[in-house]
Structure 1
Amino acid sequence: MPTSLPDSCELAAIPPRDDPRDALIVKAGLPYTSLKSLPEGAVVGTSSVRRSAQLRRLYPHLRFANLRGNVETRLAKVDNSDSEYTCMVMSAAGLERVGLEHRISQYLGSKDGGILHAVGQGALGLEIRKGDRKMQELLGQLADQQSTLACLAERSLMRTLEGGCSAPIGVETEWISAGALSIHAIVVSLDGTKSVEDTIVSNVKTVEEATALGKELAARLVKAGAGEILNNINANRPPKN
């Protein structure tokens, strides 16, 4: 779902969020159990610039190779004995939804592996025609308040930074007490050599407060240099055909 919806559409509800973290999956038969245990030159499969940028920042001894396809296709490519892949990184929710959570070697977060997830990862956004009250009432029954407010704060951050799904922006939100939302975000250069990160905590009870929190954190990141990182990436991006 784009961070800015068409004028004719709106977000009706976000049900309870699945695990938003990324996960490390090691090739079957290899002994490694974490990012730290991977040897020099190990090849990580991922097609995400957010993941590869953060991994380059923390684990410069690793190599990266593009890996695409659905969950089963990617897993088969990694497990193939003739492939170059040592492991892959993808969303934990994607594995859990197809019953493959047993293949997860390590769940990744700021406190374990150091990788922040994508905006809205693990969440399902229900988009409807704007102003459709019947659908608003129907789908509103599925909404989870904490998941909704956390995701709206993340989306506001991304929208303010003008980053899309191809931008190296990681985020992590956590409810640390009743009504207090912590949002941690990082912007990383593609080669992992430059980064800006910050955390902000505030009481959030409404959509407006969630949106304002995301905007405030984005402004702090830009002031610290995130805008320059993103501008350099955009300036060097190949033109679209």
Structure 2
Amino acid sequence: MAMSDQHSSLVMLLLLLLFAVIHSGGAALRSRAEALIGARAWRLIFATASIPSAVVVIGWFLAHRYDGVRLWNLQGLPGMVPLVWLGTAISFLFLYPATYNLLEIPAVLKPQVRLYAKGIIRISRHPQAIGQILWCMTHALWIGSSFMLVTCAGLIAHHLFAVWHGDRRLRARFGDAFEDLRSSTSVVPFLAVLDGRQTLIWQEFLRPAQLGIAVAVAVFWWAHRFISSAGALMLHSSLEKLLS
């Protein structure tokens, strides 16, 4: 029996809530967990919990993105395709600053919490939240379904919470050093640049990780033709692992 469109939206919200609890909850526990078992062990536990939950969310989204009411359809408008892809490509540059320390993700190098105000942080102190909001805007513009709007509401709510939660954790860890960083940066993109608190240094953006993100965007562009079958396969495989 096929799941109703209303139920698919509800499941999406529940999956996003589960991911938010795992991801933000894991971030909240990081300091105490690292003190008990070490940074590498905690990163592996955290990744083991968060990556499968993220894959399930992505798979569910890909399989149900056109569920619900089609509120608008702008896909045939001239210039819409390059607009959506340009916005998505820019969102990736905000979403993945963690690729700068790629070997810390699988704990090959010891994971560390750092304060820095270089590169993308000069534009926004919380680039992942800005990237997620931009991704939601471009995909909502393209898809136009009520399911997509529910997904965007859940994602943006989680990232707005993460902005508050992230600042709170950094303040507790770094104290005055974080307050100095906060006073010289902004959450809203380019606000600190426009009011003179920051100066963009373009050389800081010329990093190999940015090339990797550009390659990833090109791969995603090519792979979109297989997106429906890939989403179903990801969802089926992830649910099998979670239930086994």
The verdict on a shared fold, with TM-score over 0.5 as the criterion, is no
Q: Higher helix share goes to which structure?
A: 2
Q: Higher strand share goes to which structure?
A: 1
With a CA cutoff of 8 Å and minimum separation of 6, indicate the structure with the bigger relative contact order.
2
TM-score by length of 1: 0.25
TM-score by length of 2: 0.25
